[in-house]
């Protein structure tokens, strides 16, 4: 669909879980001929990093194997986005493996430490903010350092940063205070970086989906339905009723938006926080 992406190199963070947004984004970019490094934490660490929230080494390898059926140029890398040295090593690995880095998709995030504000712990708050926002900052920092060493591609530019925000980047919701704070912050980082990096022909944008029933999204539905005293069916029906297009988001909706923002067709778009919400969010 986007021939100018053929041969580009991208990192997609948090892409090691089946049925996840990251997997869908990586798959779409692979279809457009992009060489990929798929990243995830690679290990389960109790309540702060449970199996439904992170991709294990084995699951990440399986995701990569599936995507290699589309495009064989796919590698994997395990790193903790909270640790600057590990994120720096992730970027260095992409350059070592493929010779350059053109695209970063900041998808890694914690979307499962929910609950009442008064019950939240410092560990919960720090985990969410450190993965969702600090990790995106680290990845952007080192990706841009590499992009600035590279030539400008005529008709495309020098680089692309796309961060996965949320409807929660624009609006608040109960039981998700740390998540909402992190996603609002991600849009602020996007806008500031876009202003700074525009003269270097690096675009920086965010994609803001509403709820997507991924594997993690299924857990979120069950949690929220129980917290609100609703059946799962009633909770989902109410959600669909708020969306003008009448359905919840699908992973491919977000993946298609990412691919567009990475393409030459989006060369004049930067600093945007693009809603992909079926009309549920309009600002």
Specify which residues 202 forms β-bridges with. 159
Q: Which of 142, 179, 235, 268 is flagged as catalytic? A: 179
Start-to-end CA distance of the chain, whole Å, equals 28
Q: Rounded to an integer, what distance in angstroms lies between the CA atom of residue 105 and that of residue 86?
A: 17
Which residues fall within 8 angstroms of residue 117, CB to CB, at 6 or more apart?
177
Which of these, 188, 258, 183, lies nearest to 24 by C-alpha position?
258
* CA distance readout (Å), 77 to 11, 16, 171, 234: 10, 9, 33, 40
Based on the residue annotation, tell me whether 179 is a catalytic residue of this protein. Answer: yes
CA dihedral 9, 141, 161, 130 (to 10 degrees): 110
- Report whether 11 contacts 90 (CB < 8 A): yes
Catalytic residues: 179
């Amino acid at each position: 669909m986007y021939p100018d992406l053929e041969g580009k190199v991208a990192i997609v963070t948090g892409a090691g879980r089946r049925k996840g947004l990251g997997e869908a984004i990586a798959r779409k970019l692979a279809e457009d001929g992009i060489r990929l490094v798929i990243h995830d934490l690679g290990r389960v660490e109790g309540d702060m990093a449970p199996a439904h929230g992170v991709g294990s080494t084995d699951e990440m390898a399986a995701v990569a194997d599936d995507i290699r059926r589309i495009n064989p140029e796919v590698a994997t890398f395990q790193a903790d986005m909270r640790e600057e040295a590990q994120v720096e090593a992730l970027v260095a690995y992409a350059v070592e493996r493929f010779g350059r880095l053109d695209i970063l998709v900041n998808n890694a995030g914690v979307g499962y430490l929910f609950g009442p504000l008064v019950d939240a712990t410092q560990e919960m708050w720090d985990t969410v903010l450190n993965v969702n926002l600090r990790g995106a900052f680290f990845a952007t920092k080192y990706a841009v350092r590499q992009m600035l060493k590279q030539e400008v591609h005529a008709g495309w530019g020098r680089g692309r940063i796309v961060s996965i925000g949320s409807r929660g980047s624009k609006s608040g919701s109960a039981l998700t205070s740390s998540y909402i704070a992190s996603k609002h912050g991600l849009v602020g980082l996007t806008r500031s970086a876009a202003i700074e990096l525009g003269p270097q022909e690096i675009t920086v944008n965010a994609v803001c989906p509403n709820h997507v029933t991924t594997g993690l999204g299924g857990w979120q539905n069950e949690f929220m339905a129980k917290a609100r005293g609703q059946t799962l069916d009633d909770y989902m029906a109410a959600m669909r009723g708020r969306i003008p297009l009448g359905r919840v988001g699908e992973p491919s909706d977000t993946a298609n938006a990412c691919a567009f923002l990475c393409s030459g067709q989006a060369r004049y778009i930067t600093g945007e926080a693009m809603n992909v919400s079926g009309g549920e969010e309009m600002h």
